[in-house]
Chains A and B, each alone.
Chain A
């Protein structure tokens, strides 16, 4: 079983639609990161959330950390083809202890 469950695993939507992907766990994390990875490349850090209930915005992307610091969501408004990629969440449980989810593979169709 995965420590971090990401859902959905696959998502295909039309350009302009909104979407939300989720990252859930039964463990508490001291911080949580979201990354985007394109095929054949390394993941790129998007954001870090630290405080329970924290909301961060990055242009059309909104990240939220759950109040209990066990889960997080990523909402994309008016998705663009450039948003296509694998979205990974990673939770930190202590020094050097980072666990990655399997990811949500997003395809935005023009």
Chain B
């Protein structure tokens, strides 16, 4: 069966510090991978998605970047965090060739920027 891992679970960082959040998927090959941010009252905002190694699409301009160095690894990064980067970050995967884009989410990372 497939599983998705995210770490860390919680993170408190000062403004201006770097960020690296990691997501890995097990039990599937060539998944589509996604990073979302969830803020109170704003729903899930898609930040990045990837259909393959090294292929990253950005949905919104922002202070963050993403990379996919391996088939089942997706990393969210920032060089300098802003207060507005606080939120609940979710990684998700979907079957690469499936028509209906059902997504399976990781447990999330709660980021607080102070």
Contact = CB atoms under 8 A, between A and B. Distances in A.
Interface residues of A, number: 23
A45 B105 CA distance: 9
Interface residues of B, number: 23
A103 B32 CA distance: 24
Contacts, number: 54
A100 B108 contact: no
Interface of A: 2, 30-31, 33, 35, 40-45, 48, 50, 88, 90, 92, 95-96, 98, 100-103
15 contacts: A2-B43, A31-B100, A31-B101, A33-B100, A33-B102, A42-B92, A43-B90, A43-B105, A45-B104, A48-B100, A88-B43, A90-B103, A96-B57, A98-B103, A100-B43
Given A31-B99, A41-B107, 14 more contacts: A30-B100, A31-B100, A40-B108, A40-B110, A42-B92, A45-B103, A90-B103, A92-B100, A98-B101, A100-B36, A100-B43, A100-B44, A101-B43, A103-B43
